[in-house]
């Protein structure tokens, strides 16, 4: 289990764990609960460059298909190929085995616009209220 | 209740962007496109009008009134009477697109069986419940390949039906995708064209048999495409698949085709039936509806529409395709047709097409000045070279009760004397002999 305090969050419910110029991206526990059972994940191609807020992956649940946006600009360094066989990992372990892709070449200075955990929790509560 | 999808201001902005001052302008038919003129006398009673129009309609020269040797994408086949009887039964009549599809288990089962038959014919793992027709099915396959590979070049053989290529061009207008046309030589893709397939190529598009009726040798081309990571799309005549190896075995990733030949009459060009099948890995990108088999709460077999999250009513702008409907009635028709023929009947159908076309080829090329245009294997269609203008020959044949072959100059001005002749199981030996005799007289 990742330390949720160390993650950064987006308004579109992605999380990113930044280490140096790399960042692992997934969707939040709140997001996976909302979309319910994930049946398919389309991961980005390795080497693909994505801008902040650009669609990088697609998570498909029994309800619908959802675009997953890159929290920051970067180049796709790794993709979680395991999800092809076990898409349910996004539900079971959204912050661990359910990670979706990793970006490299990111600029840590660009994380300003993202939320920290208390901000994200408040954001989610605000939406539910 | 006032339903206003856009405001007046939205509409003005859209019209300004489109460069017209009124919505009606978008509806008017541009000058230069011929429009039907009725030229009817005024004040006719209904019986008078019906009599007049029935008389005019009877002047149409069709495959019902003439003996046809014309194919080129739409082919006349014999349709067993049982097909029309079963497919027009009231139980199968349904709304244009079923919004509570699971209420119509019979229709869903028929679609499921249709899909299974298309998988059998093509050798593919999954098929959808059909698309509009062959040309748009091919274009949808290309769109799938562009998305799946993230590339934007399309290598397409010039031996693919020119009208299919036009449809594809229309589909891709405004996108970043570019077509690389592979030239043909002697009725097949020029082997030198292989160099046009690169690591930027999303897909290689081929036709089986090709637009000239030829069955090409593709092994090297397909190997190159695979090595470059491109998908291989084959547009196939489903009737030819009765005797030709399934495209899956030669490396096709997607098989599309025009399904009209499977029990649908020529119908002046439509409605026809788009076939679409692919490898299992591409299932989530497959356009159109898919019927699946499942079990209900009591464990009984049932049928459902499945994998619908790809479709536009759920996925909106990210849908795999914006073709939201299918040709359910034509697909049902095709399923009944294939079931009526059965496995051995379907094979027999293919053998009859092969042997009658071969007999016609021999008989026609025995005439002085009539030569094969290409030296390649063919199924039920072949190209000849005539010693006289093929259009003139066709006009003469029509006087004698025959619809002649396609004058190939319509597709390629270089093939001025080219004549594409189609001979299916619907032709008898006697008709072929009479046709050859008529041609002999005309060429004399």
Measured CA to CA, the distance from residue B200 to residue B151 in angstroms comes to: 6
Nearest residue on chain B to A43, alpha-carbon basis = B148
Q: Does A11 touch chain B (CB under 8 A)?
A: no
Residue that terminates a domain, selected from B310, B337, B364: B337
Select the residue of A48, A62, A65 nearest B315 (Cβ to Cβ). A65
Q: Does the CB of B281 have a partner CB in chain A at under 8 Å?
A: no
Token reading at B235: 């547009």
Helix, strand, coil percentages for chain A (3-state, nearest 5): 25, 35, 40
Residue with token string 């300004």: B16
* B318/A67 CB distance under 8 A: yes
- Report the domain count for chain B: 2
Instruction: Tell me the two tokens of residue B356.
Output: 């009658």
* Model pLDDT for residues B302-318, shown as the tens digit of each residue: 999 888 877 777 777 77
For residue range B394-417, what is the model confidence (pLDDT) as tens digits? Answer: 999 999 999 999 999 999 999 999
pLDDT recorded at residue B335:
96
Q: Which residue's entry shows tokens 């009549």?
A: B93
CATH number of the domain enclosing B129? 3.40.640.10
pLDDT digits (tens, 9 = 90+) for B118-150: 999 999 999 999 999 999 999 999 999 999 998
Q: What is the pLDDT of residues B272-282, one digit of tens each?
A: 999 999 999 99
Domain membership flag for residue B114: yes
Report the C-alpha gap between B70 and B381 in whole angstroms. 9
Percent of chain A with pLDDT over 70: 97
pLDDT band, residue B104 (cuts 50/70/90): confident
Q: Do B314 and A65 touch (CB under 8 A)?
A: yes
Q: What is the pLDDT of residue A129?
A: 55
ipTM > 0.95 for the complex: no
In a domain, B253, yes or no: yes
pLDDT of residue A113: 86
User: How far is Cα A50 from Cα A72, in angstroms, rounded to an integer?
Assistant: 8
Are A13 and A120 in contact, with CB atoms under 8 Å apart?
no
Residue with the bigger pLDDT between B384 and A129: it is: B384
- Would you call B391 exposed, middle or buried from its count of C-beta atoms within 10 A (0-12, 13-18, 19+)? middle
Note the pLDDT of residue A7: 95
B72 and B121 part of one domain:
no
pLDDT number for residue B113: 97
Q: How many angstroms separate the CA atoms of B116 and B84, rounded?
A: 21
Mean pLDDT (chain A, rounded) = 92
Whether the per-residue pLDDT at B337 is higher than 80: the answer is yes
User: Considering B279, B311, B337, which residue would you say is the last residue of a domain?
Assistant: B337
What pLDDT does residue B275 have? 97
User: Which of B337, B367, B394 marks a domain boundary?
Assistant: B337
Does residue A42 belong to the interface with chain B, where contact is any CB pair within 8 Å? yes
Is there a single domain that holds both residue B379 and residue B325? no
Min Cα distance A61 → chain B (Å) is: 8
- Residue B323, pLDDT > 80, answer no
pLDDT range class, residue B35, cuts 50, 70, 90: confident
pLDDT at B438 over 80: yes
Q: Domains in chain A: how many in total?
A: 1
The pLDDT value recorded for residue B99 is 66
Q: Which pLDDT score, from 0 to 100, does residue A71 have?
A: 96
| Residue percentage of chain B with pLDDT more than 70 | 98
**Does B310 reach chain A within 8 Å, measured CB to CB?**
yes
Q: How confident is the model at residue B97 (pLDDT cuts 50, 70, 90)?
A: low
| Structural domain boundaries enclosing B348 | 67-78+343-443
Question: Which tokens in the block code for residue B212?
Answer: 């000239």
pLDDT band (50, 70, 90) for residue B24: confident
Residue A33 DSSP class: H
Range in A101-110, A120-129, B148-157, B421-430 the model is least confident about: A120-129
The answer on pLDDT for B108 being more than 80 is yes
Percent of chain B with pLDDT over 90: 79
* CATH number for the domain harbouring residue B373: 3.90.1150.10
């Amino acid at each position: 289990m990742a330390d949720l305090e160390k993650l950064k969050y987006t308004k579109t419910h992605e999380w990113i764990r930044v280490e140096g110029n790399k960042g692992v991206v997934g969707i939040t526990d709140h997001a996976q609960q909302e979309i319910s059972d994930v049946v398919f994940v389309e991961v980005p191609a390795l080497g693909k460059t994505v801008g902040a807020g650009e669609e990088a992956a697609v998570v498909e649940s029994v309800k619908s298909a959802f675009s997953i946006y890159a929290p920051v600009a970067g180049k796709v360094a790794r993709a979680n190929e395991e999800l092809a066989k076990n898409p349910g990992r996004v539900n079971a372990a959204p912050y661990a085995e359910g990670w979706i892709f990793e970006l490299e070449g990111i600029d840590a200075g660009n994380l300003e616009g993202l939320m920290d955990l208390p901000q994200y929790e408040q954001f989610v509560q605000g939406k539910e209220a | 209740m006032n339903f206003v999808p856009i405001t007046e201001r939205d509409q003005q902005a859209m019209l300004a962007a489109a460069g017209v001052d009124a919505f009606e302008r978008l509806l008017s038919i541009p000058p230069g496109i011929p429009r039907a003129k009725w030229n009817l006398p005024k004040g006719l009673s209904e019986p008078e009008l019906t009599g007049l129009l029935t008389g005019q309609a009877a002047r149409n020269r069709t495959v019902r009134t003439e003996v046809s040797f014309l194919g080129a994408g739409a082919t006349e086949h014999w349709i067993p009477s049982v097909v029309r009887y079963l497919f027009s039964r009231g139980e199968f009549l349904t709304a244009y697109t079923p919004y509570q599809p699971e209420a119509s288990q019979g229709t869903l089962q028929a679609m499921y069986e249709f899909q299974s038959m298309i998988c059998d014919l093509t050798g593919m793992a999954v098929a959808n419940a059909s698309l509009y027709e062959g040309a748009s099915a091919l274009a949808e396959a290309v769109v799938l390949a562009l998305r799946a590979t993230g590339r934007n070049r399309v290598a397409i053989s010039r031996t693919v039906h020119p009208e299919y290529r036009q449809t594809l061009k229309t589909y891709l207008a405004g996108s970043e995708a570019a077509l690389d046309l592979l030239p043909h030589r002697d009725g097949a893709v020029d082997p030198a064209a292989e160099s046009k397939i690169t690591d930027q190529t999303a897909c290689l598009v081929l036709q089986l048999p090709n637009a000239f009726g030829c069955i090409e040798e593709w092994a090297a081309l397909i190997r190159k495409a695979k090595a470059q990571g491109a998908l291989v799309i084959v547009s196939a005549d489903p009737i030819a698949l009765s005797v030709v190896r399934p495209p899956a075995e030669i490396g096709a990733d997607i098989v599309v085709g025009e399904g009209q030949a499977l029990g649908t009459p020529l119908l002046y060009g439509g409605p026809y039936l788009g076939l679409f099948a692919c490898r299992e890995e591409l299932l989530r990108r497959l356009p159109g509806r898919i019927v699946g088999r499942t079990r209900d709460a009591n464990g009984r077999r049932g049928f459902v529409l499945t994998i619908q999250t790809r479709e536009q009513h759920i996925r909106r702008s990210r849908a795999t395709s914006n073709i939201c409907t299918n040709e359910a009635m034509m697909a049902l028709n095709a399923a009944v047709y294939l079931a009526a023929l059965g496995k051995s009947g379907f094979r027999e159908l293919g053998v009859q097409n092969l042997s009658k076309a071969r007999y016609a080829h021999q008989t026609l090329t025995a005439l002085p000045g009539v030569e094969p245009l290409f030296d390649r294997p063919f199924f039920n269609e072949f190209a000849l070279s005539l010693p006289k203008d093929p259009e003139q020959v066709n006009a003469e044949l029509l006087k004698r009760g025959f619809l002649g072959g396609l004058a190939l100059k319509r597709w390629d001005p270089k093939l001025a004397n080219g004549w594409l002749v189609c001979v299916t199981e619907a032709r008898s030996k006697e008709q072929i002999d009479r046709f050859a005799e008529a041609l002999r007289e005309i060429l004399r």
